[in-house]
Structure 1
Amino acid sequence: MTALQRWRDLLASWAIPATIDPPESPWVLPREVFRRRADRQIADPIGATHRLAVEALREPGTVLDIGAAAGAASLPLVSRSKVTAVTALDTDDELLAAFAERAAGVEHRLLSGRWPDLAAEAGTADVVVCGNVVYNVPDLAPFAAALTAAARRRVVVELAARHPLTELNPLWQRFHGIARPTGPTVEDCLAALAEVGIEPQVVAWQRPPEPEYAKFTTLVDVARRRLCLPLSAAGDVEQALLEMGVDPAVPPDLGSSGRDLVTLVWPGSG
């Protein structure tokens, strides 16, 4: 089995087991988390992803943000480097609207759809950033190749050290008696990229604890839905989260990117 096939198979293993009948869709998009992350990063950017993107923008240049959400990866660059324009691409129109609100006064363009489907429309940019998207990309080869082709200077990709939904694995065991997948991991991603000739610089770092939801009850509800549990189980989920050590004053999002992060950097096509 090739590394690219292993990557596809590991992602496919996250399908909800056939024995589970979810009362609601478990594939929750936590828009509040993305908006709050963007606001924090714009106000006080941290992390290797920001630093490595800034390095490539010492001279004036444009940015293409793949999976832009509310702008956490690209908008902090505007006031701290020589960004002349930003293109934001995302599948979620509500998050693109949140991006536009935060990009007021910045030359920007919004593209609604998937990468690399819209690669031709997006065109090229000096720096391409892609934050916490690749665990949703089974066909990694064309995705990564299109990132390289779109970047004139540098590609900067951020991802969790391992599939972020693994944070919920103890709760799947607790409530359903089911062992969920433990991967893929960043090592699987690197092996898959190597098969298409991409060997990036790798920087591991940690996001500090921060309240990703305004209320602990919101985290409880999102976790319940991701666990395919009914509303009546909310109290049990709350208790389980507390027993896991979750601080109700600093509710994290268990399932979107986590705190152990890795930034991958490689040259663009020039």
Structure 2
Amino acid sequence: MTALHRWADTLAAWAIPPEILAAAPESPWVLPRQVFERRADAQIAAPTGETHAAARAALAEPGSVLDVGAAAGATSLPLLGRVPVLELTAVDADGELLTGFAARAADLGLPSTILSGRWPDLADETPVADVVLCGNVVYNLADLAPFLHALTTHARRRVIVEVAAAHPLTELNPLWRRFHDIERPAGPTADDFLATLGELGVEPTVARWRRRPEAEYATFAELTDVTRRRLCLPADTETEVAAALRELGVDPALPPDLGSSGRELVTVSWPGRGV
């Protein structure tokens, strides 16, 4: 089996068992926009991490930026005012997050071009940029090859991708075992992602790093509610879920999002082929 096929098959294994999904009182497919917004604001105020460092190095000379899967802007907006960004384009499927992205960019003094939709569906109408950024998106994609090809052909200088070291949802695996007595997948991982790149002929630069602990939810109760819904549990299990989170070692004063990117991260970059 090829690395690309193994990636797709492993992602497919994350499907929630039909009987659990059918009994869920609410959709488990929670998009915690508040987490992305808080993360963006924190990074704009004080950027950290190897992805930001790689992007700053790629923009030592003035240039344009394309942010694919931009969300609220945590990957690209911290660059504004710190390096010479001439143009900024953001692509994301969530219109509400994009609206916030545009507002933050304007507040930072650079109007942005906003494209609402999925990558690479929008590739043909998206301008080539000097640097293409893509933060914590690839675990949502079964078909990596066209996605990565479009990133590479849209970058003149550099493609920079941030990916969690392990699939973010693995943080919930002990809770699935506790509440549903089922085992969830252990992958794919960043190493599997690197294997797919090698199969596509890409030899990337790789930097592994750890995100600093920070409160990604305003309250522990907010984290508990999102976690409960992700686990397909009813509202009357809130107390049990809160207790389980504490037993996992979650600090109620610094509630993290279990499921969006995690704290162990890998920044992967390679030369672009855009013209």
Normalised by the shorter chain, which TM-score bucket? over 0.9
Partner Cα separation in structure 1 for residue 217 and residue 238 of structure 2: 16
What's the counterpart of residue 51 of structure 2? 49
Pair 1:139-2:143 in alignment: yes
CA positional deviation for 1:48? 0.2
Q: Deviations over 1:96-116 (max 9, x none)?
A: 011011011213100000000
CA positional deviation for 1:243? 1.0
What's the counterpart of residue 242 of structure 1? 246
Partner Cα separation in structure 1 for residue 259 and residue 217 of structure 2: 13
Match of residue 195, structure 2, among 178, 191, 198 = 191
Partner Cα separation in structure 2 for residue 243 and residue 132 of structure 1: 27
Pair 1:265-2:232 in alignment: no
Instruction: Give aligned-pair identity as a percent.
Output: 66
Partner Cα separation in structure 2 for residue 199 and residue 59 of structure 1: 24
CA positional deviation for 1:198? 1.2
What's the counterpart of residue 81 of structure 1? 83
What's the counterpart of residue 162 of structure 1? 166
RMSD of aligned residue pairs (Cα, Å): 0.8
Partner Cα separation in structure 1 for residue 24 and residue 156 of structure 2: 45
User: Any conservation in 2 of the 1:84–1:107 contact (CA below 8 Å)?
Assistant: no
Structure 1: segments with no counterpart, 5+ residues:
none
Partner Cα separation in structure 2 for residue 200 and residue 19 of structure 1: 42
CA positional deviation for 1:19? 2.6
What's the counterpart of residue 13 of structure 1? 13
Q: Which secondary structure does the structure 2 equivalent of 1:62 belong to?
A: strand
The 4+ residue runs of structure 1 with deviation greater than 2 A are: none
Alignment map for 1:218-237 (pairs within 5 Å): 218-237=222-241
Q: Which secondary structure does the structure 2 equivalent of 1:19 belong to?
A: helix
What's the counterpart of residue 98 of structure 1? 100
Q: Which secondary structure does the structure 1 equivalent of 2:8 belong to?
A: helix
Q: Which amino acid aligns with 1:74?
A: S
Structure 2: segments with no counterpart, 5+ residues:
none
Partner Cα separation in structure 1 for residue 13 and residue 253 of structure 2: 33
Pair 1:64-2:66 in alignment: yes
CA positional deviation for 1:78? 1.3
- Count of residues in correspondence between the two structures: 270
Alignment map for 1:119-138 (pairs within 5 Å): 119-138=123-142
What's the counterpart of residue 22 of structure 1? 24
Q: Deviations over 1:50-75 (max 9, x none)?
A: 00000010111000000001111111
User: Any conservation in 2 of the 1:14–1:180 contact (CA below 8 Å)?
Assistant: yes
Q: Which secondary structure does the structure 1 equivalent of 2:19 belong to?
A: coil
Q: Which secondary structure does the structure 1 equivalent of 2:156 belong to?
A: strand
Partner Cα separation in structure 2 for residue 137 and residue 13 of structure 1: 13
Q: Which secondary structure does the structure 1 equivalent of 2:87 belong to?
A: strand
What's the counterpart of residue 38 of structure 2? 36
Alignment map for 1:194-213 (pairs within 5 Å): 194-213=198-217
Q: Deviations over 1:2-29 (max 9, x none)?
A: 1100000011111111231322111110
Q: What's the TM-score, normalizing by structure 1?
A: 0.99
CA positional deviation for 1:194? 1.2
Q: Which amino acid aligns with 2:111?
A: E
Partner Cα separation in structure 2 for residue 258 and residue 175 of structure 1: 22
What's the counterpart of residue 254 of structure 1? 258
CA positional deviation for 1:85? 1.2
Q: Which secondary structure does the structure 2 equivalent of 1:210 belong to?
A: coil
